Amino acid sequence: MDLGIAGRKAIVCASSRGLGLACAKALATAGCEVVINGRNREHLAAAAAELKKTGAKVIPVAADVASPDGQKALFAACPEPDILVNNNAGPPFRDFRELDRQKMLDGVTGNMIVAIELIQKVIDPMVARKFGRIVNITSGSVKAPIAGLDLSSGARAGLTAFLAGVARSVAASNVTINFVLPGIFETDRFRSNVEATVRKRGISYEIALKERVDAVPAKRIGNPDELGAACAFLCSAQSGYITGQNILIDGGAFPGAF
């Protein structure tokens, strides 16, 4: 399917590895010019080299997306993106009793405020150009709790509710705001979550992994490219009538029909 976005400019935050990288790859394959981002320069350079194989223009920006300077660097590389994919690391696995005020503020900043700040900067030019696609990578935990990821779930649910109204306010200008909610995907973040379970319960990695996979009706871990493809579709020319939606990509793990 031709997604109709060849030549569009995209910023994909936190995209040197994992789900962000998969989204950047799918957009680059669709012909977009892609700004990719991460703090570690080596990982970022490796990701840029991989993405350039698609033939797309790829601009790596080594920066912390959560910092004002990092955001400035992203917009210096691409002042008026047509597409913004919001992504960032999530807070570490932790019992909620261990969270002090600063940790909570950092979590809410990283998984809610940063995305809103970036959207504030891109949305009016998108409205003026009558095209904009914003996709926020959140988590299946927005819909179904995961003990230990309470801060992550809370901040992302806050982002979801905040943007629900914003999405409707720009829909008439062909600017859409949607969310992809990953279940379990084969990434460094997922592996570190499994390792936290291993430490907490004193079980082997294989058993901890099997427990997670057994809970998924598809009986497997997601491939990041599967999420990347869904993200690229939500950024496509054809997806202009989909907005304000939370798309679970979780192999059926969420047990509800709605």
Binding site for ligand NAP (CB under 6 A): 14-20, 37-40, 43, 64-66, 87-90, 137, 139-140, 152, 182, 184-185, 187-190
Q: How far is the CB of 144 from ligand NAP (least distance, A)?
A: 11
Task: Tell me the chain's radius of gyration from C-alpha atoms.
Answer: 18
Nearest distance from residue 180's CB to ligand NAP, in Å? Answer: 9
Nearer to ligand NAP, 175 or 250 (CB): 250
Residue whose token pair is 């979780």: 250
Q: How far is the CB of 43 from ligand NAP (least distance, A)?
A: 5
| Least distance to ligand NAP, CB of residue 212, Å | 9
- 19 versus 118: smaller Cβ distance to ligand NAP: 19
**Closest distance between ligand NAP and the C-beta of residue 48, in Å?**
12
Would you say 52 or 171 has its CB closer to ligand NAP? 52
- Residue closer to ligand NAP, measured from CB, 28 or 170: 28
Compare residues 15 and 54 and give the one whose CB is closer to ligand NAP.
15
Closest CA to 89 of 26, 135, 41, 137: 137
- Between 152 and 236, name the residue whose CB sits nearer to ligand NAP: 152
Min separation Cβ 90 and ligand NAP, Å: 3
